[in-house]
Amino acid sequence: MPEIKFSKREKEILVQKVKLYFREELDQDIGGFDAEFLIDFFAGELGAYFYNRGLYDAQALFAGKVEELSESIFELEKPTDFNKS
């Protein structure tokens, strides 16, 4: 899996979220560098788990849509002599 890359704007948003979490939940102030370091660490160590979960969820959604489409196509089928038993 390729390394997870965030745009500059995405990274800024993530840094602010990490800093806010530390301040509100842990009563600690951390700097932007520390927050960015944590983001990079978690992305590198845990990112693949979240990425894979997203793939599994997308695959399940896609499979469900394919099933719906198959049912819709089946409903369009016209009766023929072949269908009679």
> What is the average per-residue pLDDT within 2-9?
85
> What is the average per-residue pLDDT within 39-46?
92
Each domain of the chain, given as residue ranges in start order, spans: 8-76
Q: What is the pTM of this model?
A: 0.68
Confidence of residue 27 (pLDDT cuts 50, 70, 90): very high
pLDDT of residue 1: 62
Span 55-84, pLDDT tens digits: 999 999 999 999 999 999 999 988 888 766
pLDDT of residue 20: 98
> 6-45 as b/e, with b when 16 or more CB fall inside 10 Å?
eeeeebeebbeebbeebeeeeeeebeeeebbebbbeebee
pLDDT of residue 61: 97
